[in-house]
Structure formats: structure tokens, C-alpha cells
Structure 1
Amino acid sequence: MPATAFLVDGAFFLARYRKVWGDRDPNDARTVAKTVFGMALEHLKALDRPREALYRIFFYDCPPLERTLVKPVSGDSVDFGRTGAAAFRRELHDQLRRQRKMALRLGRLSERGEWQLRRSAFQQLREGTLAWDELGDEHFEPEMRQTQVDMKIGIDIAALAYKKQVDQIILVAGDADFIPAAKLARYEGIDFILDPMWQGIAPDLHEHIDGLQSVCPRPY
């Protein structure tokens, strides 16, 4: 029987979610979790595969920041573990665990307790619409990066391919970090499909996948 694995880069998915489903509340964790499951079923439908062909959904993310930091301009303290963003992430992970055929893969959030200028603020400074002496706490964000997530995606792709657990893998992602794993999967005979949720990809990326397919609404 054909089997399809559905892998989702959580950070990428959540960033695109706000653009694709602008009419939905991006902080409604239950709806977001159900959307992930719904996307997997839409892919199966588009590929003319039955629901029973869904092997498993893998969602890759990191726990929220749980530290108290001092703001760079005002000097006030902020407990990121008590912010709305942290509460949403915890609730989302809980809702994902409740979904059928869902495997939540959590990496680590690496941070050094430092602040960096937001990209939007940097652009405003370049355009002259914001002066240096007008910078406030809202123009900065904690310097953080995900670790272990790409490695977990690669390991799962390799395991699925070597163990012949599936004959098809659909990956929701937007960068080229997956290319080595995709090459391995294709070498093992896996049909590898990329879903960038209508985000553009580099032209040379097409040679490393077997298909490009987005099933979510196309944002304007």
C-alpha cells in the first residue's frame, strides 16, 4: 500500500500561515494545529491517494523562550515565558500532540541574552523614516536561533527512506537546507515533493525534488 509522510518546518509554516490565512486568528492554536492536519489531507487528495495512505505528520519546532531579559533602551525587565507568544507556542504544541498521526519533534532555542535590531527597523533607518535617536524597545528583538531542527528533519527523512516506511515524502519548507536529505531520499526511490506554501524558490532547487505543490490558498 502507498504511504506518504508529511514533514513540516514549524517556524516556516507559522510565518507563512499569517500571510496565507490572513482572515484567521494566528493565535488560535487549535485552528492552526487542525490546519496542519488539513494540509496533509489536501496533499493526499491532490495526489489521488486515500486518507489511509498518510503514514504520519512530523512537525518540527522549538519550545518558547522562558527567560527574563532586560530591555535594551528602557532597562525594564520582560519575562518572555509569560508573553502571549510563549503561551501560544505551548498551546500549539499541546494541540499538535492531540492530533491523530502527529509526531512533534522539538529542537532547542539557542539564545545569548542579547538583543538585535529588527529587520523592519533596520529598513526604516536605511530609508530615513526612522532616526537613531528614535529607537525604542519595540525596535529590538532577542537574538535567537533554532538548533537541532534541521538535523531532526534530515534524520527522519533518512530513516523513512532507508527503512522503506514510505514511498513518498512531502516537505513544507522554504529554504535549501533539506537538499542533502532530499538527494538521499530520491536515491532510495522516494518521491520527494516540496510545498513552499506559494513562496518562491531558487530555480536550481527544482533539480533536487520530484515535484512542487502548494495546496493552501495563494496569498495576494
Structure 2
Amino acid sequence: MRGVHIGNVIRLVAYSYRPRNLGGACCPGLFHVEVALKIAFLIDGGFFLKRFRTLYPGVDSHDAKEVAQRIKWLIGNHLEYQNKTQQCTNHWSLLFRSFYYDARPYEKQGQRPVSRAPMNYQASAEATFRRALFQELRKTPNMALRLGEVRKEGNRSWILKPGTQNDLLAGKLGIDDLTDDDFVPAFRQKGVDMRLGIDMASLCLKKQADVIVLVAGDSDFVPAAKLARREGVRIILDPLWQNVSDSLFEHIDGLYSGVARPSNTRKQQG
């Protein structure tokens, strides 16, 4: 039997056989076509960036090129793992497409919460980094950006940091002790989870992927994952070594992290 990988989808396998009535002479057999797995990646960008410092403590988390490279390595490690059963010449040939979900940075004007000094969100370090990262990902082959938007939560512009709030309740701080650094912007992403769910449903209903690797850390994906599994698509969850609740295992087909386990986390891979 001889196998040849053709393109990124088809593997052509030729069989030889020895008919008894020809004295055992080897004759060409039939061709059998096997379809290699098509794998799609759905990456929750906000979750990935939140875990980045834990996963890569020695890497600048605001270096767009470094972050984009780690995303590519994450994808490559998953493809290499899946290729253990597929045995394609190039594990990247299993990739259908990667989808990266995030929100465009907030770029309006505002004021600091205590000093009332003017603030230009567009010029902030976070906004500058996000724009640079998105540009790097746009240049990555087979990568699609799915961007929602950031809005303020109702009429609130700022919220207290959890540690500051605890100190206030404990009497360690007074109202007059608060500074601008004790607050964070009251922003909320809009349209990100919706885009992820729609893409997951579309991938399975159009039969574009056999396996979906979901890089996420919460249960918002469960309804779409149920649909995908009913359509025969396997869901592999990569929580980036964050602990996963037992109830989530009911809605996935496997758990695998494409990055090395940080030394301070408990192993849950399987």
C-alpha cells in the first residue's frame, strides 16, 4: 500500500493484490481516496491575552510581533498533535482557517476619574498594541479577524479595581485616598461572542471543518458546541491551562493545550 498526500485535503492510496489464478503475480489494485481532517481554530483573543503573562512570563505582552508569533505556535502545536493520526507530510496542510475574535479598541476622548485630566484613549498603550496586533494577524496566512466593538457600560465611565474596593470596605482606605490608578475603564465588548457562535455554526453546517479547536475559558460557547457536535464535528477545547469545570466536559470531545503548562498550574489535560 502506498499513500501520497495531495493538496491539503485529499490522500490517494493505491493497493496492490496477488490474484490466485495468476500464480501470485502482483497486479495493480484499486485506488482508495481518503479525506484528511480539516481543522478550524476559533481563538478568543481577550482570553488569550489575559492568559499571556501566565503562559509566557518572560515575553513582553505588548509586543505585537511576539504575541502574533505565539498565536501561530499555538496553532502549529495543535496541528502537529492532530497529525499524529493523520500522518500528513506537512501538518499545516490540515488547517482550514484560524479565526481570531477580539474588539476594536475604544478610541474616544474622556477624563480621568479623580483628577479630571483629559484622556485620549486612542493614544493609550493598550489601543496602540491592539491595532498593531491586528495588523500582524492580518498578514498571517489563513487567519481571519472577527472584530466586535468596545462600549461603556451604561452611564459609568470608571469602576473601582477589586483590590481597592476590598481596602475601602475593610477601612484601609478612605474616599480621599483614591487616585486615578485605583480605577479601570468601565468597558464591555459587544458582538464578539456572537461572531464566534455564528462562525462555529457556519463551519459545521457547511461541512467546512471536521474538528474545531476552541481557545476559550468560559461556557459561552456551549450552545454552538452542542450544534456542532450534533452535526458530527469534534470540539477540542484549549483553556490554556486554566481549570475547566466538570460540567463543561459534557460539551466537548477533548481537552488539549497547545502551549507548555505553567509551573504554577495543576495539570488537567486529557
Which amino acid counterpart does residue 4 of structure 1 have in structure 2? Answer: I
* 2:130 counterpart residue number: 89
Task: Say if 2:81 is the partner of 1:46.
Answer: yes
Task: Say if 2:40 is the partner of 1:5.
Answer: yes
- Relative to structure 2, which stretch is displaced further, 148-157 or 49-58? 49-58
Which amino acid counterpart does residue 213 of structure 1 have in structure 2? Answer: Y
Task: Say if 2:154 is the partner of 1:105.
Answer: no
- Relative to structure 2, which stretch is displaced further, 67-76 or 87-96? 67-76
Which amino acid counterpart does residue 181 of structure 1 have in structure 2? Answer: A
TM, length-normalised to structure 2: 0.78
Question: Contact between 2:75 and 2:258, CA under 8 Å: does it hold in 1?
Answer: no
Task: Say if 2:197 is the partner of 1:154.
Answer: yes
* 2:103 counterpart residue number: 62
Question: Which blocks of at least 5 consecutive residues in structure 2 are unaligned?
Answer: 1-35, 265-270
Q: Deviations over 1:188-220 (max 9, x none)?
A: 000101100000111111001001111212222
Measure, in 1, the Cα distance between the counterparts of 2:139 and 2:54.
Answer: 25
Measure, in 2, the Cα distance between the counterparts of 1:24 and 1:130.
Answer: 34
* 1:140 counterpart residue number: 183
The alpha-carbon deviation at position 133 of structure 1 amounts to 2.5
The alpha-carbon deviation at position 126 of structure 1 amounts to 4.2
Question: Which blocks of at least 5 consecutive residues in structure 1 are unaligned?
Answer: none
Measure, in 2, the Cα distance between the counterparts of 1:80 and 1:63.
Answer: 12
The alpha-carbon deviation at position 129 of structure 1 amounts to 4.4
TM, length-normalised to structure 1: 0.96
Cα separation, partners in 2 of 1:127 and 1:16, compared to 1, 3 Å: farther
The alpha-carbon deviation at position 120 of structure 1 amounts to 2.9
SS in 1 for 2:186: strand
The alpha-carbon deviation at position 157 of structure 1 amounts to 0.3
4+ runs deviating over 4 angstroms: 126-129
Question: Contact between 1:60 and 1:149, CA under 8 Å: does it hold in 2?
Answer: yes
Which amino acid counterpart does residue 58 of structure 1 have in structure 2? Answer: F
SS in 2 for 1:107: strand
Which amino acid counterpart does residue 190 of structure 1 have in structure 2? Answer: V
SS in 2 for 1:2: coil
The alpha-carbon deviation at position 122 of structure 1 amounts to 2.0
* 2:163 counterpart residue number: 120
Q: Deviations over 1:82-141 (max 9, x none)?
A: 011110010000000011110011011111561111223223334554443211100111
The alpha-carbon deviation at position 156 of structure 1 amounts to 0.4
| Percent of residue pairs identical | 44
Measure, in 1, the Cα distance between the counterparts of 2:128 and 2:117.
Answer: 21
The alpha-carbon deviation at position 78 of structure 1 amounts to 0.8
* 1:24 counterpart residue number: 59
* 2:113 counterpart residue number: 72
Query: Which of 196, 199, 202 is the equivalent residue of 2:245?
Result: 202
Question: Contact between 1:8 and 1:172, CA under 8 Å: does it hold in 2?
Answer: yes
Which amino acid counterpart does residue 110 of structure 2 have in structure 1? Answer: L
Question: Contact between 1:37 and 1:57, CA under 8 Å: does it hold in 2?
Answer: no
Which amino acid counterpart does residue 227 of structure 2 have in structure 1? Answer: L
Aligned length: 220
Measure, in 1, the Cα distance between the counterparts of 2:170 and 2:110.
Answer: 30
Task: Say if 2:86 is the partner of 1:34.
Answer: no
Give RMSD over aligned pairs.
Answer: 1.3
Measure, in 2, the Cα distance between the counterparts of 1:92 and 1:58.
Answer: 14
Question: Contact between 1:8 and 1:60, CA under 8 Å: does it hold in 2?
Answer: yes
Measure, in 1, the Cα distance between the counterparts of 2:194 and 2:58.
Answer: 33
